[in-house]
Structure 1
Amino acid sequence: MVILRAAVCAALFLISAMVQTVLAQDVTLTSPDGTVEISGDLLGFDGEFYRVQTLYGELTVDGSGVLCDGPACPNLTDYVARLTFSGSETMGRLLVPALIQAFADRQGYRVTRTQPNTNELVLTLEDAANARFVGVLTILLANTDQGFTDLLANDADIVMAQREMRPRERSDAMLAGLGDMQDARRGRVLALDGLVPVVAQDNPVAKISTPKLAAILTGRITNWSDLGGPDAPITLHLRNESAGIWQVVVDRLLRPAGGTLTEGALRHISDQALGKAVAQDPFGLGLISASAAGANKTLGLTGACGFSLLADRLSLKTEDYPLSAPMFLYLPARRLPKLGRDFIRFTRSDAAQLVIRRAGLTDQAPEEIAIRDQGDRFANAIAQAGPEVGLKALQTMVSDLSDRKRLSLSFRFEAGSARLDAQSRSNVALLAQALEAGQYDARDLLFAGFSDGNGGAAANQRIAEKRAGAVLLAVKQAAETANLEQLTLNARGFGEALPMACDDSAWGRQVNRRVEVWVH
């Protein structure tokens, strides 16, 4: 039976290759009465619609209303959906295959997994009850850069990315007719991760500030004694330049510091290799994905005011941890096969969130967090109270929030911008989806705005309230089918009353500028 199945899969892949060869040939689509005729190169068929490159540009045509003539015409009765993922190897080796397997299990499909080469996985989905194949999903294991290159070259349908799309990539996608990839329908957060500094377990250093991390990267700090450790040189361990997590290092640490990487840093081709090297290096410091920290000791991020943040599940989910690194799926503005559309919808389901957690990543399922479970946040607020924010303001805030729970969906803004960042835009869609499903009917949701400590307290309170109102409006607009009369929605600003980090650095101020949702 195993040999027979392998033979059938091999035959299917051969047919797939033959289909790809003929897709470049001409087809003619004709209406049943013969009055409309469209000729061109068949770019794709999703089981329902043809995608054809014509003299007038790319056209999408409903297959139920035309007859197809030409060597590239697909078999309408035995259609097999084909979908290609390309990009992050970290996502492609474990997370995406696990999600495909869970999706197939729910649909009643059998999955056969093959690996034609070290950089490619193929998952074939079979409807065993009807003895037919329904899909061939290919995963190209490369890096985020290559994923976007493959998408632009029409060699991939979905990009697996460990960073947000670059402005140049977005522009190229627009010119290629792939749509605005920053649209919520094009780019979506699949799972949450973070960038963490790690050291060997016996290293005495327990925390570090982001300015000092940047100083190590640029070579301004080279000895552990500058961090309260032994008098020994720091060995820096980093990912290779094409890795998505390395680009998070550039965006969050190097570029804000205005420096270039110091010479002598050791580069690694995978998180696993980096983690292993740090564990064996008593004077090593690595920057790695939180999910891949392994047995190494993770350093907390701190500042001059004494706040310290660790990349735990809740701090990543709420984006309180400043070096968050969401994992994205990017889709072009064209129809995927129905199988692909169903899979994308599945990635937002509760079942998918469980798969994400089992893969060692942070899921996006909204959680309600009681005040007593929020660590040192309120103690820090009291410690930082002063002339601008006195005890009375703190008492008012605690009184307003004490009978509520904080939702894990927070909203933060891009540096120097009123635009929500990528994770927050995804959170707008998630909260809107929950409102449409009636998840918060008969409840009271308070959108609470907070600011950094720059400027006067009164002005900061007004700014925070304006941001809270803007997020509330965005959620309302996204929740098109929600019955908003079934719940209460309000926005309020608390200014600088509940800081998450020190205001002595750009990243600290950015973490403090946020909107939270508190539920009663």
Structure 2
Amino acid sequence: MTPRKPMFTSAVAFRPLLAGTALCTALLAGEAMAQTVALSAPGTAVRIEGRLLSYDNGTYVIETSIGQISVPTDGLVCEGATCPTPEQIARANVINGVPGERVALTATTGGLRMEGTLISYENGLYRIETPLGPLEVRAQGTTCEGPGCPLIPQDSAALAPAPQTQTQADGARVTVPRLDRAPDVRFAGPAPLLDRVVPALVVDLADARGARLDMADTVSVSAADAAAAGLPAGGMAFSLEERGAGTLVVARYTESPAEALSLADGAETDIALVPTRPGALPGQPLLGTEALVAVVSPQNTVAALSAEDLTEIFSGRARNWSAFGGPDADIRVIGLPPRSDVTAALAETLLAPRGLNARAPDTLVADTDALAAAVAADPTAIGFTVQSASDGARRLALSSSCGLTAEATPEAVLTGRYPFSREIRALPRAGAGEEAGLVLAHLQGAAQDVMTDAGMIGPELVRFSLEQEMGGLAARLPQIGDEDRRALVDTALRIMPAAERLGTVLRLTEAGDALDPASREQIGRIIDLAAEQGLAELFLVGHAEDTGDAFTSRDMGRALARQVRSLMLSADVEGKLDTTLLRTVGLGAVTPIACADAPGAAASNRRVEIWVRR
């Protein structure tokens, strides 16, 4: 099972311990506590009144008419001016334990390991229930693993990454891993990306090495609670143990890709994982591609929206679902923190090209998982997120004024039919250690599996069937009155049964004399693929905008294909294509991917696809 960062819906869901209870007492005790409160259990006749003396270790201590009593917090409602606030209870729970949760205690010198259920942790002493009965173990010289462990015992030599805070809707949230030594490999990047890629990577790495994989305990807490407890903030950590040696991998969250790159430049991380526009960082290791999607509740009746519709919604120009064929209900936008990389992608992808700004969200949530959950639960809600974190919500297809519809499938994303995506790149720091180099090399070699496991699209040039597109063209053929256009459709239908389309698309710069950066990188990969697989024939299929004359558009597409063929041959300095026949075909506007009246349609439709003879 892929280890994932633990997610908690409230502070009550976890109670990691710190040595002693001094901090809790300092936070919650005092003379103000010694005033009257009433404790009641909803749905029952239970009610206890008295003077609140303290709130500690998840327990109220009250002076009543029959003496001093201790009452556990669970299930009780406290009424009175001196009742602890929800924030105080959450803070206390951060430093209290989780009796009944599993723990494993290991001597730091090795040779001794005990597993059981945590009874308590106080004053540097664990009490655990084991098959041999209750045992007491001192924390000094001991490492604890499991959900019942103390967060960071004061008497341990625990290490943690440098403080890093991620801004969330309800304040700053930080994640603290428990580490017993300095990490061997340090990753940095936005949390939604690291949360999916790093666990998938370490699972694959452990399988390849035959290593035992453990995830260090992590707890998600507020920055205020972490600061009050003196806890350093970080991300998540994994240890791989093999043949007496181990590798400790730490992932540190950043608020933006730029911050991850800055950490790599400053030697504060070994590998920065960053999402970026296609072709923006050519030459850096490409791990894969991730689709960006608009999501709604499964109960929402709107099936698809155009890019223009989404712009209207997220800019605030449209605020009712009735404008898009939905019910007469206000549109509720669920958003991520302003500095989130996904928020930046929304602005860059949809709004900035049209000179617009994003409207303020109706609800701001902490992360992409929370966004999917909030949208799924509200039929009037909409959000913009990454496809890998959209489970539970329904991903909207993209519609258009001319009847083109695209869903965020791997083929549609890789061939430009679905326009909202970003590349995932790995940027190693100069001088990274040997182990970091080995892990990065494994990540590059296993990127297809790792990214697929992470819910994204791997970097390999995969082939896709043309059968569906061929069926659509065949159905349209009888309705095409223009003889020239019919002739081009016939050409496509003759080639398609014998070919498959590679998951890429090539484009020229505006000047038309060179490939754009993303395409230059793809050319080398196509040449390598042809050599490795011994491909006998490639079709370079040129497409163009609709000029109103089928053969004029065909000639434009053919010219594009010929230009790409010339550039490809020039790039093949090792003669890898010597045994591969490159055929150029012009289909013009037979299969557009953007409507003629859409912004940037001409540039979108001018492209060269690579079809492989089967």
Under a length normalisation based on structure 1, what TM-score does the superposition of the two structures give? 0.72
Per the alignment, residue 152 of structure 1 pairs with: 265
User: Shift of the alpha carbon at 1:346?
Assistant: 3.2
SS of residue in 1 equivalent to 2:359? coil
2:193 aligns with 91
Counterpart CA distance in 2 for 1:480 and 1:335 is 31
- Paired residue for 2:404? 307
Aligned counterpart, 2:538: 445
Report the CA distance between 1:480 and its aligned residue: 5.6
Secondary structure of the structure 1 residue equivalent to 2:597:
coil
**What are structure 2's unaligned runs of at least 5 residues?**
1-103, 111-140, 144-155, 163-181, 221-233
- Does structure 2 conserve the Cα–Cα contact (< 8 Å) formed by 1:189 and 1:426? no
Question: Distance between the aligned counterparts of 2:270 and 2:469, measured in 1?
Answer: 41
The structure in which a higher percent of residues are helix is 1
Q: Distance in 2 between matches of 1:81 and 1:475?
A: 44
Deviation of 1:237 after TM superposition, in Å, equals: 1.7
Alignment CA distance shift 1:154-1:462 (3 Å): farther
Amino acid at match of 2:282: A
2:207 aligned counterpart, secondary structure: helix
1:122 aligns with 2:237: yes
What is the 5 A alignment of 1:115-194? 115=217, 118=220, 119-128=234-243, 131-133=244-246, 135-143=247-255, 144-164=257-277, 182=280, 184-186=282-284, 188-194=285-291
Q: Please report how far the alpha carbon of residue 275 of structure 1 lies from its aligned counterpart in structure 2 after TM superposition.
A: 0.9
Matched-pair contact (CA < 8 Å) for 1:163–1:245: no
Mapped contact 1:237–1:265 kept (Cα < 8 A): yes
Q: Following superposition of structure 1 onto structure 2, how do residues 472-511 of structure 1 map, counting pairs within 5 Å?
A: 472=565, 475=568, 481=574, 483-506=576-599, 508-511=601-604
1:390 deviation in Å?
1.6
| Closer, same or farther: CA 411–275 of 1 in aligned 2, 3 Å | same
For the Cα contact (< 8 Å) 1:161–1:327, is it kept in 2? yes
Work out whether residues 282 and 518 of structure 2, in 8 Å CA contact, stay in contact via their aligned partners in 1.
Answer: no
Distance verdict in 2 for CA 1:263–1:506, change over 3 Å: same
Residue segments in structure 1 that go unaligned for 5+ positions in a row: 21-79, 166-180
Q: Which has the higher contact order (CA 8 A, sep 6+)?
A: 1
Counterpart CA distance in 1 for 2:248 and 2:570 is: 37
In structure 1, distance between residues paired with 2:517 and 2:258: 18
CA distance in 2, matches of 1:380, 1:239: 43
1:485, 1:251 → 2: CA distance? 42
Quick one: distance in 1 between partners of 2:594 and 2:550? Answer: 17
Q: Aligned equivalents of 1:142 and 1:383: distance in 2? A: 56
Output the CA distance in 2 between the equivalents of 1:418 and 1:492.
19
Give the structure 2 partner of residue 517 of structure 1: 610
RMSD of Structure 2 on Structure 1 (CA): 3.7
Change (3 A) 1:161 1:443: same
| 2:372 is aligned with 1:372 | no
- AA paired with 1:120? G
Q: 1:278 aligns with which of 345, 366, 375?
A: 375
Please give the secondary structure, in 1, of the residue aligned with 2:588.
Answer: coil
Q: CA deviation at 1:321?
A: 0.9
CA distance in 2, matches of 1:158, 1:283: 40
Q: Which residue of 2 aligns with 1:395?
A: 490
1:146 aligned counterpart, secondary structure: helix
Matches of 1:153 and 1:139, distance apart in 2: 16
After superposition, the Cα gap between the structure-2 partners of 1:264 and 1:245, relative to the gap in structure 1 and judged at 3 Å, is closer
C-alpha displacement of 1:264: 4.5
Distance in 2 separating the partners of 1:473 and 1:404: 22
Aligned partner letter, 1:303:
S
CA distance 1:509–1:386, change in 2 (3 Å)? farther
Superposition deviation, residue 474 in structure 1: 5.4
Distance of 2:513 and 2:252 partners within structure 1? 36
Q: Is contact 1:322–1:507 with CA below 8 Å preserved after alignment?
A: no
Q: 1:237 aligns with which of 334, 351, 360?
A: 334
Find the aligned partners of 2:563 and 2:142 in 1 and give their Cα distance.
Answer: 52
Change in CA separation of 1:182 and 1:274 when aligned onto 2, cut-off 3 Å: closer
Q: Would the aligned equivalents of 2:557 and 2:587 in 1 still touch at CA under 8 Å?
A: yes
For residues 591 and 109 of structure 2, the distance between their equivalents in structure 1, rounded to whole angstroms, comes to 60
Residue 252 of structure 2: SS of its match in structure 1?
Answer: strand
Distance 1:328 1:374, change over 3 A: farther
* Structure-1 residue corresponding to 2:454: 359
**2:320 touches 2:329 (CA, 8 Å); kept in 1?**
yes
Q: Which amino acid aligns with 1:378?
A: L
Q: What is the rounded CA distance, in whole Å, between the counterparts of 2:509 and 2:518 in structure 1?
A: 10
5 Å matches for 1:73-92? 82-92=184-194
Identify the residue that residue 3 of structure 1 maps to in structure 2: 106
In the superposition, the TM-score normalised over structure 2's length comes to 0.62
How many angstroms does 1:448 deviate by?
Answer: 1.2
Q: Percent identity?
A: 23
Q: Report the Cα offset of residue 384 of structure 1.
A: 9.4
In structure 1, distance between residues paired with 2:259 and 2:269: 10
> Aligned partners of 2:399 and 2:188: how far apart in 1?
36
For residue 326 of structure 1, give the secondary structure of its aligned residue in structure 2.
strand
In structure 1, what residue type is equivalent to 2:283?
R
